[in-house]
Amino acid sequence: MFLTDVPAGAGRPGWMALLLTVVLLGAVPAAHQPDQPEPAPQAETPNNARMFPNDGGMILNFIKSDKTADFEEVMAKLKEALAKSDKPERKQQAAGWKIFKSPDPAGANVLYVFVVDPSVKGADYQVSNIIVEAFPTAEANVLLQKYADAYAQGMNIVNLSLVQDLGQ
C-alpha cells in the first residue's frame, strides 16, 4: 500500500483508521492468540506479566455488545488502581495509557483499543495483575469475572517501535 492510497485531506483520523484497518486485516484470528483473556483467576494467583518491550503498543479488545457496561466498569477500576498505587511506574503507565471505543461495529461485538504511548519499559500491563494488586481478594475476583465474561473473541496485542515522530 502506498501513501497515495489514502484520500487527500484524510488527516490524522484517516491515518489512524488506516493503521487500525491494517492491524485488523493482518492480525491472526483472536481464537489462535496465546494472549486471550482466561477465565477469572483467583486473586491470589495473578496471570503472567504483559509488557511492551518497545516504544508503545496497542491491544485490540473484542467485547460482547451486552457486556460493555461491565467492561467499562472494570476499566474505571483499572484507572483507580493505577492512580492509588504506591508504585511510581503505575503513575507513568496511566499517563501513557488510553482506552478508545470504536463507534464502528466489530461484527456483533464492540472494539475497545488500548493505546500505550509511550510504554513503560519493564512495567506490567496485565489488567488482572493490576486489579489484584489494588483491591481486596473478594472485590478483585468479582471484577476479574466481569472482565473475563465481557470478552467475545479475546484480544490482539501489537508491539510498536517508533519510526518517526512527525510532531518533533
Amino acid at 160: L
Question: What domains does the chain contain, in order, with CATH numbers?
Answer: 33-160 (3.30.70.100)
Average pLDDT over residues 142-165: 95
Question: Is the whole-model pTM more than 0.75?
Answer: no
Span 96-147, pLDDT tens digits: 999 999 999 899 999 999 999 999 999 999 999 999 999 999 999 999 999 9
How far apart are the C-alpha atoms of 93 and 152, rounded to whole Å? 26
Judged on CB neighbours under 10 Å (0-12, 13-18, 19+), 32 is exposed
Span 48-90, pLDDT tens digits: 899 999 999 999 999 999 999 999 999 999 999 999 999 999 9
Q: Is 11 left (phi over 0), alpha (psi -120 to 50) or beta?
A: left
Span 16-34, pLDDT tens digits: 443 444 344 344 344 434 4
